Amino acid sequence: MRAAMTRIRLKGAAVAAASVAMAVVLTACGGDTGSDKPESKTKEPSASSDGQKSQAPAPAEEDDGQVLATITGKDGVVATVSSAKRESGGFITVKGRVANGSKQIWAAVGWQGMEQELVNNGASMAGASLVDREGKKRYLILRDTDGRCLCTKFEGLPPGGEAPFFAQFPAPPETTSEVEFQIPTMPTATIKISG
């Protein structure tokens, strides 16, 4: 009787082991949706061809013709601010265009500011800031962990040329609806926050 019970238990264990093995095989072969089309895969962001880490893409340009402020600097350089939008991630994106009214190539000299951490941002808006006069607080441009600003980096802009720009800052409190936008070497402009 014991021998018969032992055989039954062994057969039961063999059936259980076979069931587990079959489940593993089916799981490994799973994923067939019945379609002959290959599954689409999302591309991971990759490093650029020059070996540098890829940067976050610039926000899409919005050209609705709105003008919040026009800032005229020396040598005929004009920055036009078209939006200052409060984003859901707790920051503000300022967008606009810069026009080179000078007779030479413009390279945003001085716009990167004097802050040591931003010195490697070259021809960019890294030195821009927002000032909340009511809250008595200044907001510096956002940057990534490598110290790169979350802002436009300019190529040399030829005489008569124009280029879009963006700059991202921590958002002041919801009660603040107006801030001063400051770019080094340019006059200060008051802009309204939307969103």
Question: Looking at domain 69-192, which CATH architecture does it have?
Answer: Sandwich (2.60)
- Comparison of pLDDT for 9 and 186, the residue scoring more: 186
d(CA 30, CA 28): 6
Domain ranges of the chain: 69-192
Q: Which of 55-59, 95-99, 181-185 has the lowest mean pLDDT?
A: 55-59
- The Cα–Cα gap between 74 and 101 comes to 10
Q: Which residues contact 118 (CB under 8 A, 6 or more apart)?
A: 112, 126, 127, 141, 143, 147, 149
Whether the full predicted model's pTM is greater than 0.85, yes or no, is: no
What mean pLDDT do residues 112-140 have?
A: 87
